[in-house]
Amino acid sequence: MNKNDRMAMMAELPVHTVLIRMSLPMMISFFIQAMYNIVDSMFVARISENALTAVSLAFPMQQIVTAIAVGTATGVSALWSRYMGMGDREKASQCIRTMTAMSLGFTLVFILLGLFASGPLFRAQTSVAEIAEMGTTYLMINWVFSCGSIFSKYYERLLVSAGRAVLSMATMACGAVFNLIFDPLLIFGIGPFPELGIAGAAYATIGGQILAAIVAIALNRKYNEPVKRDMLRPAFHADAAAGILRVGLPSIITMGLSSLTSFFINQILLAYSTTATAVYGVWMKLQNFCYMPTFGLNNGMVPVLAYNYGTKRIDRVRQTMKLAVIASAALMCALAVLFELIPGTVLTMFSAGEQMRLIGMACLRACVVSLPFGAVSMIYSSSMQALDHSRYALLINMLRQCVLLIGCFALLSAITHSQQLIWLAVPITEIVTFAVSSVLNRKFRRDLGM
């Protein structure tokens, strides 16, 4: 299939066929990626519970890189697809070159943050010296070498936008496999490798990300002809940057707020115990894993929505959204039932002691109820981003990732003083957000004549 056929399929093939072709490889990719986050924590837990707590406290700040990378990649994916659908190759080219320049700028910022902010941020969170020392090491390595995460997400998303979702899956798989192999080797010093402890976990992670970026660049140059000329030629165009951020900002704020929210929730949980913080870190990794099908659907859906919107095929926009909502809700219901049945088995994977197991069982059983509601809200939000209704998406994301979640944790903590009941904050937040997003979705659809 040539490049023209690959772009045209988004407007001509049956919607369910396009969505499966675009989303299924991304789902598999994200599952693989989420697996190595979970495996990373599983290996770190074998060092000590303090090591697991350190990684849990680092995770929100580590996710800031992911927030910016995913958000801007979503922006350039939607904008580039729309301009290609409109036949405006010049503006599409400006998007690619501007995104390359922006990625270099983001990389420099995180190098500076890694060198100078990692230690103070960790010492502000905990007075336990061992946790602060291990967490600083882990976070500094991830921030200083953030180029792998930033560029891999950007170039992976370009492959998806060009209809090359399988190649994007291969890119992510390369990074994930590298991390899965080198995690135990570098943490525990197996064979000729040095025993680096928590630093080994960080080096395995950034090594996988850098490998994924290199593979993604090579595949774009070989198979993605529309971006081959521009992808390594950075040039800043203010209009293109504004367009990328206009679409991508809700995703950046969503994930950024999630990081900020996790920071504040960790402070609430630390008042109970460091074990509660470790449990919350485990839930965040599991939640991230469970939402991978939705992330895959979002990534496959956005270029389809944007391309068909650019070609004025509103009927296909409507069908794409409907199928994404149904598929995501069904998958999340299945995962929620599964994790309700085996919370103890899950916690055993993280070397949970008696106290961690007691707190973790209550946490998982309460939190997994939230999955279907959160998934539908995410589909609505991504649709709004892709189709010039970012203000609605921003409101949904702020409620879901920050305002309601922090408020519910703080209120339940003040009222119940219970490590068992405080976890109800997660399902309460997602159910209320689902109600709000459903109302906004109806207004959004009326605005588009759907």
* pLDDT tens readout for residues 25-46: 778 777 776 776 777 888 898 8
Look up residue 426 and give its two tokens: 């997660």
Contact present, 59 and 281 (Cβ < 8 Å): yes
Contact present, 377 and 437 (Cβ < 8 Å): yes
Which conformational region is residue 272 in: left (phi greater than 0), alpha (psi within -120 to 50 degrees), or beta?
alpha
CA 329 to chain centre: 18
Mean pLDDT of 331-352: 89
Position 260 scores a pLDDT of 82
Look up residue 368 and give its two tokens: 């997994």
Position 10 scores a pLDDT of 64
Q: What is the CA radius of gyration of the chain?
A: 21
Position 294 scores a pLDDT of 87
Contact present, 240 and 91 (Cβ < 8 Å): yes
Contact present, 378 and 291 (Cβ < 8 Å): yes
Position 2 scores a pLDDT of 46
Position 387 scores a pLDDT of 79
- For the chain, the maximum distance between any two Cα atoms, rounded to a whole number of angstroms, is 63
Q: What angle do CA 67, 132, 36 make, to 5 degrees?
A: 45
pLDDT digits (tens, 9 = 90+) for 145-193: 999 999 999 998 888 777 787 888 888 888 888 988 999 999 999 999 9
Position 383 scores a pLDDT of 86
Contact present, 95 and 17 (Cβ < 8 Å): no
Contact present, 208 and 175 (Cβ < 8 Å): yes
Nearest to 134 by CA among 147, 148, 118, 145: 118
Quote the percentage of the chain above a pLDDT of 70: 96
Position 450 scores a pLDDT of 66
What is the Cα–Cα distance from 14 to 323, expressed in whole angstroms?
A: 12
pLDDT category at 17 given cuts 50, 70, 90 is confident
pLDDT category at 333 given cuts 50, 70, 90 is very high
Half-sphere exposure of 239 (CA within 13 A, CB side): 6
Contact present, 319 and 15 (Cβ < 8 Å): yes
Position 301 scores a pLDDT of 84
Quote the percentage of the chain above a pLDDT of 90: 42
| CA distances in angstroms from 271 to 265, 280, 337, 412, listed in the order given | 10, 13, 31, 14
Nearest to 280 by CA among 419, 393, 177: 419
Lowest mean pLDDT across 89-93, 245-249, 372-376: 245-249
Mean pLDDT of 53-65: 87
Position 20 scores a pLDDT of 77
What is the Cα–Cα distance from 356 to 410, expressed in whole angstroms?
A: 21
pLDDT at 99 over 70: yes
Q: What is the mean pLDDT of the chain?
A: 87
Contact present, 389 and 447 (Cβ < 8 Å): yes
What is the model's pTM?
0.74
Position 36 scores a pLDDT of 66
Q: What angle do CA 291, 293, 296 make, to 5 degrees?
A: 110
Position 9 scores a pLDDT of 64
Position 8 scores a pLDDT of 60
Position 408 scores a pLDDT of 96
Query: Which residue has 């109302």 as its token pair?
Result: 439
Contact present, 29 and 166 (Cβ < 8 Å): no
